[in-house]
Structure 1
């Protein structure tokens, strides 16, 4: 997904290339961090949730949440900017 965003940015096929680059990079990084986050949370659930997570595991989870939030905000921004023009003149 990150490679697709970089290729689209380099080709300049959009009116907001930096927004779409950020969108694809943030969702790509969220995808990379999603698997370790799922493993951490599964292991935490199996071992019982009475012990706090270590700081190194919390960093993975927080990074996942940050990247998924940035991607969601950029997706909403990009979608909101594209809707009026598509309603005025369908492609």
Structure 2
């Protein structure tokens, strides 16, 4: 099968994922947990875009898994995590759309995130791609985003959406608000890092691939 160069559009989609996640999270956090209808409106709006991006990434990843367009290790490196990211995004969309607990998606993201980190570290060790450090940074950042999605979704379900039945019905005030704020702030910071790493990878990829297309 001839080589098909779709890495550029994949990186574009990942950049958009970080932008939508950051924008949605900031607006939801700004509205505050006491303004539940406003937070739900922000989450619904963001989940539509994340669901669309997740569907695209899942289809792209499955296509790569079944057609194997890249040489050996590169196909595993780029399409395995793409499938996982697509599933996480679609799962979050479904949880918001159908008013289901989001922390189940958080658990899936947590486990998948460690896998993505491993892919990035192993690829760096093997010296895959022409920008191994940028590539590793992107994989580690996206993996860390997924890992941190678990505490973020637990916070959403327990203190905002009231979908984690612990104690009396109705979201109570967080017992350790500073700890939760630090976790959410760290999630936002890692999202920015993932976006910057994707931009760097995307810039270098498009620059070189346009100069010498297959």
TM-score by length of 2: 0.39
Q: Which residue pairs with 1:56 in the alignment?
A: 179
Which residue of the other structure, out of 197, 203, 210, is the alignment partner of 1:74? 197
Q: Which residue pairs with 1:88 in the alignment?
A: 211
Q: What runs of 5+ residues in structure 2 fail to find an aligned partner?
A: 1-115, 163-170
Structure 2 CA distance, aligned partners of 1:9 and 1:72? 19
Q: Does 1:65 align with 2:180?
A: no
Structure 1 CA distance, aligned partners of 2:153 and 2:205? 33
Higher RCO, 1 or 2 (CA under 8 Å, sep at least 6)? 1
Q: What runs of 5+ residues in structure 1 fail to find an aligned partner?
A: none
Query: Could you say what secondary structure the match of 2:134 adopts?
Result: helix
Structure 2 CA distance, aligned partners of 1:83 and 1:25? 21
Q: Which residue pairs with 2:144 in the alignment?
A: 29
TM-score by length of 1: 0.86
| 1:84 positional shift | 2.0
Structure 2 CA distance, aligned partners of 1:40 and 1:68? 17
Q: Does 1:39 align with 2:162?
A: no
Figure out how many residues of one structure are paired with residues of the other and give that number: 89
What value does the CA root-mean-square deviation take over the aligned residues?
1.7
Q: Which residue pairs with 1:12 in the alignment?
A: 127
